[in-house]
Chain A
Amino acid sequence: MPATWIFLIVLALAAIGYVLGRGRALASAGGDSRHLHSLPSYYGANAALLAMVPALLVLVIWLFAQPLVIQNRVEHLVPETSYETEGELSLVMSDVRRIAEGLDLAVERGALSADEASDIRVEFTDIRERLGSVGVALGSDVQAPMLAAAKAWREMNATGNLIRSIAVVLVALGGFGLGLMRAEKDFRARNSVEKVIKGLLILAASLAILTTLGIVLSLLFNTIEFFRLYPALDFFFGTTWAPSFGGGSELGILPLLWGTFYISLIALAVAVPIGLFAAVYLSEYASPAVRSFAKPMIEVLAGIPTIVYGLFALLTVGPLLFQAFGPGTLGWMGGGRAVMTAGLVMGIMLIPFVSSLSDDIINAVPQAMRDGSLGLGATKSETVKQVVLPAALPGIVGAILLAASRAIGETMIVVLGAGAAARLSLNPFEAMTTVTAKIVSQLTGDADFASPEALVAFALGMTLFVITLGLNIFALWIVRKYREQYE
């Protein structure tokens, strides 16, 4: 029975539970709801929740666990001679699964009968062709051990599914019965329902932790896998980035890190002065009319998707810079894609980020400090430079750090604007590449996930995650540590 049907059955049970539970509770109070502890609907909801929540939990856990258990068991059926490394095993396993799914599909489409599918033999049937006829393409001909594994897979899957259906429905029925039994006038239904709801709320809140955990684990496992295939020292200190999917790649992260930092540096060099001056002007000088017009307009820049900036870099800014600095004039630039292109456009993207964060911080500086300075005879600009900015400095540094972490993690602008060549160079008009751009290029396409060339993307992701996380925590720490003084 497919999972959707079980799900619907459980839902139906819950609905029936609601009606019956409510009715039973009312009946136990002689039809007068004043004698009940809680409102009648709580008794119904109690029965419905008891029928639904544990059953669905079991279903979800089962859906996750069953493939893992089966995979583990079937792996032992694959003869050890047919693979050498972990990576090859995972390829074999994905073939096995595809055969098993293909057989299921063939039965479903009527190309094979159920008996035929379980008795199928390599010697008598061209399985590749039969599966091809229902739209399952296999990379190679099917070997006997793989077919055996696939059959075992199907069998275990079928029994697993059967047990799953029975277990889930039994749990639902149990909850249903319990809920009905409890639907009786002295039962504190509201408290019980609210406890369940609170549990669900906690679950939702914990999803944030689960997401972080998911990120860390998926990065960690694949990174460890990568370091098993490629020495960590060469990765962190190598100065050449030359992946080749045939093997023998050099995967040093330094050129990528250099590209990332160079581009971020240029971006910050554009965004920080403009953003900071704009924030100072808007909060200290501008009339309310100018402020109410200019502030949202600048913030529009923050709402524009990064793909738009990427295209702007690739098709507008790149060619413009190429005209200005290309072979026709100064000859510094070899093509439109360069560190300068990406950095400039990223700087534009970061202006509202710096300006609105700094604006908030400057506004938080108490007016009394300005008044004191102005009263002593300082001009407005002197007040800003010597009183307001120092007071707001920790916050501003925090904002700049957050902007830097944004710049380092930015993907689309560098993918489209910075070029693909990894090199260590000081010339900002040369094409360079970044960590994020290489994550994209190593993981898109039909790479096999077991090769170091694909796995390196996870190590790059891990590096990126650690750097941005460090910057964020540092920024928050600075803000928190120095903020109190001026409040």
Chain B
Amino acid sequence: MTDATASGVPAGKHTSGSLLEQNPRTKRRNAAEARFKMYGMAAVGIGLVFLVLLLVAIVRNGVPAYTQTFLSLPIELKAEALDKNGNRDLDDIRKVSTFGYNPLLDEALLRVVADNGIESDYSGADLRKMISSSAAAQVRDYVLTHPADIGETVEFRVLASSRVDGYLKGRVVREDLERDKNLDAAHLDIIDVLRDEGVVSRTFNWAFIFGADASESRPEQAGIGVSMLGSLFMMIVVLLLSLPIGVAASIYLEEFAPKNRWTDLIEVNISNLAAVPSIVFGILGLAVFIQFMHLPQSAPLVGGLVLTLMTLPTIIISTRASLKSVPPSIRDAALGVGASKMQSVFHHVLPLAMPGILTGTIIGLAQALGETAPLLLIGMVGYIASNYPDGVASGFLDPNSAMPAQIYEWAKRADPAYYERAWGGIIILLLFLMTMNIIAVILRRRFERRW
């Protein structure tokens, strides 16, 4: 657009006065204008590029977590190994630990390798490196629930080890394995053949979404389900506490509070709390809820309490905005027909402001759901969330993790296979946040009234 007015006049000719001709100064100013506009466009562009880069990184690294490699193994459940007395007594069967199942796995692996015509001088124990160390427990669980199948050959789908899984996903290459004692390149040759034969396959990994966390050596088994429940219980606490308290505080400040020192103090406090770093709330939670009140560490209840204190300012600020947007004529009409101030607020103003309040609450909850730093301090990290809570009370009080804390935990672990899980967890977390924000937008669009 800089050249919009530049006509065919030869440059450098300083004829004066013609509007059709740009003098050098005008040209310079127009060029500066164009440059300035470009800087602006570039800035917006860079912002968008960062967003795209972030999303691409998340999706590219996270999607592999949703598929997992399995081996189909026909395992002979030998009676002499599993039930020496032969009377199918569950207590006897239970005495065989997971170690007792390893020979069965070895045998099945050797058979599969031989059946597919692979020459290998690996022993069974060497071959067992290809499958997850959770396989023995999986077979044992099956035997304990189906004792009648002892003596039969049962087809199991056991998890491949994380290295094998990484190989099929392209994360692990042969060169990586030279210094790796968990797997050798020769294993991968076997895997190549088995994959072509259909013994090794990759399928959708429900266990990642609904499963529990696993110990550091078994990334292939880890899932985010239990910590999702932890987050859910925390959000219940946050919702139950912050919505009523936040609404009550906003009603007081917006409708009843006289202009005095105390009110000013409250206002200043709320605006400052909104800007306090989240880690400070973690310190508060640690000192007050755990050190002073002796509430259980790592419990979603404590996490919920801390996050409540953190989200309250957000909710109060948005609730006050929506109370303010209800026109005074509504209040006047209610007062005019004999309602008390309290009745006018609770019967008329509050219902009208409700959509706005709910929108603000949902956004506050979304913020709380993604918050990690305070959870680190109250011990929701470093804990392996491997068990589902037994019930509602245990859901609130038993140690658990939360989604962002679980992601942090995975990011800290040394095995790169866990990074994939962390990215995968982020996809779930972002899906939750997106859903909540979309609900908030819909609420606002559909129910919010413009006066």
Residues of A within 8 A of B (CB): 64, 67, 97, 190-191, 194, 197-198, 200-209, 211-212, 214-215, 218-219, 221-222, 273-278, 280-282, 284-286, 294, 297-298, 300-301, 303-312, 314-316, 348, 351-352, 355, 379-382, 384-385, 402, 405, 408-412, 415-416, 436, 439-440, 443-445, 449, 457-458, 461, 464-465, 468-469, 472-473, 476
- Asked if B277 contacts A211 (CB within 8 A), the reply is no
Contact partner of A464 (CB less than 8 A), chosen from B248, B251, B265, B277, is: B277
Residue of A nearest to B290 (CB): A449
Minimum-distance CB pairs A-B, first 3 = A409-B277, A281-B40, A305-B370
Q: Which chain B positions have C-beta within 8 A of A200?
A: 248
Known: A212-B272, A301-B50, A444-B382. A201 touches B43 (CB 8 A): no
Q: Mark B272-290, 1 if CB is under 8 A from A, else 0.
A: 1101111111011011100
Most buried by A among B253, B257, B280: B280
- Asked if A461 contacts B33 (CB within 8 A), the reply is no
Most buried by A among B37, B47, B48, B284: B47
The majority secondary structure among interface residues of chain A is: helix
Q: Tell me which of B120-128, B132-140, B166-174, B373-381 binds A.
A: B373-381
Q: Which chain B positions have C-beta within 8 A of A221?
A: 287
Docked Cα-Cα span, A315 to B425, in Å, equals 14
- Asked if B57 contacts A312 (CB within 8 A), the reply is yes
- Asked if B433 contacts A211 (CB within 8 A), the reply is no
- Asked if B279 contacts A439 (CB within 8 A), the reply is yes
- Asked if A209 contacts B40 (CB within 8 A), the reply is no
Interface size counted on chain B using CB atoms at 8 A: 86
Q: Which chain A positions have C-beta within 8 A of B408?
A: 307, 310, 412, 415-416
Contacts between the two chains (Cβ within 8 Å), count: 260
User: In the complex, how many angstroms separate the beta carbon of B280 from the nearest chain A beta carbon?
Assistant: 5
Q: Which chain B positions have C-beta within 8 A of A436?
A: 277, 279, 373
- Asked if B411 contacts A310 (CB within 8 A), the reply is yes
Docked Cα-Cα span, A457 to B376, in Å, equals 13
- Asked if B40 contacts A278 (CB within 8 A), the reply is yes
Residue of B nearest to A216 (CB): B284
Docked Cα-Cα span, A169 to B197, in Å, equals 74
- Asked if A468 contacts B276 (CB within 8 A), the reply is yes
User: In the complex, how many angstroms separate the beta carbon of A381 from the nearest chain B beta carbon?
Assistant: 4
- Asked if B57 contacts A316 (CB within 8 A), the reply is yes
- Asked if B276 contacts A465 (CB within 8 A), the reply is yes
Docked Cα-Cα span, A445 to B316, in Å, equals 35
Which residues, 334 to 378 on B, are CB-close (under 8 Å) to A?
340-342, 366, 369-373, 376-377
- Asked if A209 contacts B256 (CB within 8 A), the reply is no
Docked Cα-Cα span, A80 to B446, in Å, equals 69
Residue of B nearest to A221 (CB): B287
- Asked if A67 contacts B294 (CB within 8 A), the reply is yes
User: In the complex, how many angstroms separate the beta carbon of A265 from the nearest chain B beta carbon?
Assistant: 17
- Asked if A412 contacts B372 (CB within 8 A), the reply is yes
- Asked if A311 contacts B372 (CB within 8 A), the reply is no
Q: Which chain B positions have C-beta within 8 A of A281?
A: 37, 39-41, 43-44
Docked Cα-Cα span, A348 to B61, in Å, equals 20
Known: A409-B277, A465-B276. A351 touches B54 (CB 8 A): no
Which residues, 37 to 71 on B, are CB-close (under 8 Å) to A?
37, 39-44, 46-48, 50-51, 53-54, 57-58, 61
User: In the complex, how many angstroms separate the beta carbon of B75 from the nearest chain A beta carbon?
Assistant: 36
- Asked if A469 contacts B276 (CB within 8 A), the reply is yes
Q: Which chain A positions have C-beta within 8 A of B42?
A: 277
Residue B430 interfacial (CB < 8 Å): yes
- Asked if A194 contacts B36 (CB within 8 A), the reply is no
Docked Cα-Cα span, A209 to B42, in Å, equals 44
User: In the complex, how many angstroms separate the beta carbon of A41 from the nearest chain B beta carbon?
Assistant: 12
Contact partner of A305 (CB less than 8 A), chosen from B40, B47, B312, B429, is: B429
- Asked if A207 contacts B50 (CB within 8 A), the reply is no
Residue of B nearest to A201 (CB): B252
Q: Which chain B positions have C-beta within 8 A of A476?
A: 271
User: In the complex, how many angstroms separate the beta carbon of B318 from the nearest chain A beta carbon?
Assistant: 15
- Asked if B36 contacts A190 (CB within 8 A), the reply is no
Q: Which chain A positions have C-beta within 8 A of B316?
A: 208
User: In the complex, how many angstroms separate the beta carbon of A390 from the nearest chain B beta carbon?
Assistant: 16
Residue B266 interfacial (CB < 8 Å): yes
- Asked if A468 contacts B37 (CB within 8 A), the reply is no
- Asked if A411 contacts B43 (CB within 8 A), the reply is no
Which residues, 369 to 407 on B, are CB-close (under 8 Å) to A?
369-373, 376-377, 379, 381-382, 404, 407
- Asked if A215 contacts B276 (CB within 8 A), the reply is yes
Q: Which chain B positions have C-beta within 8 A of A294?
A: 44, 47-48
Residue B437 interfacial (CB < 8 Å): yes
- Asked if B286 contacts A209 (CB within 8 A), the reply is no
- Asked if B58 contacts A308 (CB within 8 A), the reply is yes
- Asked if B47 contacts A278 (CB within 8 A), the reply is yes
- Asked if A440 contacts B33 (CB within 8 A), the reply is no
Residue of A nearest to B441 (CB): A296
Docked Cα-Cα span, A469 to B273, in Å, equals 9
- Asked if B44 contacts A409 (CB within 8 A), the reply is no
Residue of A nearest to B313 (CB): A208
Docked Cα-Cα span, A379 to B422, in Å, equals 50
Known: A385-B36, A444-B376. 18 other contacts (CB 8 A): A205-B248, A205-B266, A208-B273, A214-B284, A218-B287, A277-B44, A285-B37, A294-B44, A308-B426, A309-B54, A311-B407, A379-B33, A382-B32, A411-B376, A444-B377, A458-B283, A458-B287, A473-B272
- Asked if B287 contacts A304 (CB within 8 A), the reply is no
Known: A310-B411, A311-B411. A297 touches B51 (CB 8 A): yes
Residue B188 interfacial (CB < 8 Å): no
User: In the complex, how many angstroms separate the beta carbon of B45 from the nearest chain A beta carbon?
Assistant: 9
A-B contact pairs, 26 of them (CB 8 A): A97-B294, A207-B312, A208-B266, A208-B313, A211-B269, A214-B284, A215-B284, A273-B43, A277-B39, A280-B40, A281-B41, A282-B40, A298-B48, A304-B430, A311-B422, A381-B33, A382-B33, A405-B275, A411-B278, A411-B372, A416-B408, A436-B373, A440-B376, A445-B382, A458-B283, A465-B280
Residue B112 interfacial (CB < 8 Å): no
Q: Which chain A positions have C-beta within 8 A of B29?
A: 379, 382
Which residues, 122 to 154 on B, are CB-close (under 8 Å) to A?
none
Q: Which chain A positions have C-beta within 8 A of B407?
A: 307, 311
- Asked if B312 contacts A412 (CB within 8 A), the reply is no
Most buried by A among B46, B61, B244, B256: B46
Docked Cα-Cα span, A379 to B1, in Å, equals 13
User: In the complex, how many angstroms separate the beta carbon of B131 from the nearest chain A beta carbon?
Assistant: 27
- Asked if A381 contacts B44 (CB within 8 A), the reply is no
Known: A298-B44, A311-B422, A315-B419. A461 touches B279 (CB 8 A): yes
Residue B217 interfacial (CB < 8 Å): no
- Asked if A409 contacts B279 (CB within 8 A), the reply is yes
Q: Which chain B positions have C-beta within 8 A of A311?
A: 407, 411, 422-423, 426
Contact partner of A301 (CB less than 8 A), chosen from B51, B279, B426, is: B51
Residue B325 interfacial (CB < 8 Å): no
Q: Which chain A positions have C-beta within 8 A of B381?
A: 444
- Asked if B377 contacts A443 (CB within 8 A), the reply is yes
- Asked if A282 contacts B437 (CB within 8 A), the reply is no
Residue B321 interfacial (CB < 8 Å): no
Known: A307-B372, A307-B404, A315-B61. A411 touches B277 (CB 8 A): yes
User: In the complex, how many angstroms separate the beta carbon of B317 from the nearest chain A beta carbon?
Assistant: 11
Known: A208-B312, A409-B279, A469-B272. A355 touches B47 (CB 8 A): yes
Contact partner of B286 (CB less than 8 A), chosen from A316, A384, A405, A443, is: A443
Known: A311-B411, A465-B280. A208 touches B249 (CB 8 A): yes
Docked Cα-Cα span, A468 to B58, in Å, equals 31
Q: Which chain A positions have C-beta within 8 A of B423?
A: 311, 315
User: In the complex, how many angstroms separate the beta carbon of A319 from the nearest chain B beta carbon?
Assistant: 11
Known: A218-B288, A457-B283. A212 touches B273 (CB 8 A): yes
User: In the complex, how many angstroms separate the beta carbon of A380 from the nearest chain B beta carbon?
Assistant: 6
